[in-house]
Structure 1
Amino acid sequence: MLKIWSMKQQQQKNEAASGQAKKKKVTAAQLRVQKDLSELSLPGTMKTTFPNPDDILNFTLTITPDEGLYKGGQFNFSFAISQNFPHEPPKVKCKEKIYHPNIDLEGNVCLNILREDWKPVLNLNAVVVGLQFLFLEPNASDPLNKDAANDLMSDRDRFRRNVRSSMGGGQVKGESFDRVLLK
């Protein structure tokens, strides 16, 4: 044990003498995120991008639904993970302004596991699956966008038309939306 300690001290002296920078410590949050990311099994309709490859706590998830009302659109979600992860959920925001009962006009996402139902045993894969499910089955009973939720509950055809119009960059009820259609 003492030999290891003296070797460590010698290594630090050598690094200091040669001007090498001290390595940054890896935090518990970074280790957990690295584990979660390595276990992600994303379908072809999703991909992650890292604007800063050295920062795995901030990345973008792109979802391109291939079925459901949002088929043909491309939606980007920013993930900001704090140093308290997994004790705190990641902060997830939709970068595009879209017409969805569970995503407000500022991009906030209403997903129970991102709020009161978050538990440290949950991982990033659970969040990804939850986001994917929001595009397959929008939930009108727990809305952030009440107009969209009311349309979904009262007139599904009008909701479908509004989704298509908004995805094309159109307006719904005087509100302009970002074009997210790929074609």
Structure 2
Amino acid sequence: MQKAQKGSGSQQGVSVAFIRAKKDLQEYEEIPGIKIHYDTGNPMQIKMSVSPNEGYYSGAVFHFECQVPEDYPNKAPEFRCLERIYHPNIDLDGHVCLNILRNDWKPTLTLQLVFAGILHLFLHPNANDPLNKDAANDLSKYPQDFTRHVQQSMMGGYVGEEKFDRVA
């Protein structure tokens, strides 16, 4: 009887969030331009790289950390870009503005959909829902300046007073 209790106790140590994150990652189908890395013993922390093959950010590699919260899937995972980049939907601290990570999150969404959503931000940046207002303003009003600023920033240069990380 004690052995059964010990066994059931260890099962209780695994959270619903852990089980769901592990399931999401096991069912992950590769997305071109996305690479994910995680320790199978800890699916709550994920590293992701995004390599867009077209658009403004083509030829660059961006790294993200994902922290899956303990109340996942009821709460969205949290993503942060590790490089300082010039992007309307990613601020200078790496926070990501993606509707499914905020207001449109639903427990039925998966990590796969979020990975695809982040890649989509690089292929089609959205000036209407910005975290970086300067980049959004350039994208919507001055597209040639936006293109030039993205290129400068990806090479590790400055845009205005801000220095960016080399990603290309």
**TM-score past 0.5 threshold:** yes
Which consecutive unaligned segments of at least 5 residues does structure 1 have?
Answer: 1-5, 16-21
Aligned partner of 2:17 in structure 1 is 29
> Please, what TM-score do these two structures have when normalized by structure 2?
0.92
Alignment CA distance shift 1:82-1:155 (3 Å): same
Aligned twin of 2:121: 134
Aligned to 1:78, what secondary structure does the other structure show? strand
- 1:1-183 map, 5 Å: 6=1, 9-10=2-3, 23=10, 25-50=13-38, 52-181=39-168
Task: Give the structure-1-normalised TM-score.
Answer: 0.85
Identity across matched positions, percent: 46
Secondary structure of 2:63's counterpart equals strand
Q: If each structure's strand is expressed as a fraction of its own residues, which one has the higher value?
A: 2
- Measured after TM superposition, the shift of residue 10 of structure 1 is 4.9
Q: How much does 1:61 deviate?
A: 0.8
1:81-126 Cα deviation digits (max 9, x unpaired): 1110000000111111000000000001000111111111111111
| Structural RMSD (CA) | 1.8
Moved over 3 A (4+): 9-13
* Letter aligned with residue 140 of structure 2: M
- Tell me, which stretches of 5 or more residues in structure 2 are unaligned? none
In 2, Cα distance between equivalents of 1:147 and 1:171: 13
- How many residues of Structure 1 are paired with residues of Structure 2 in the alignment? 166
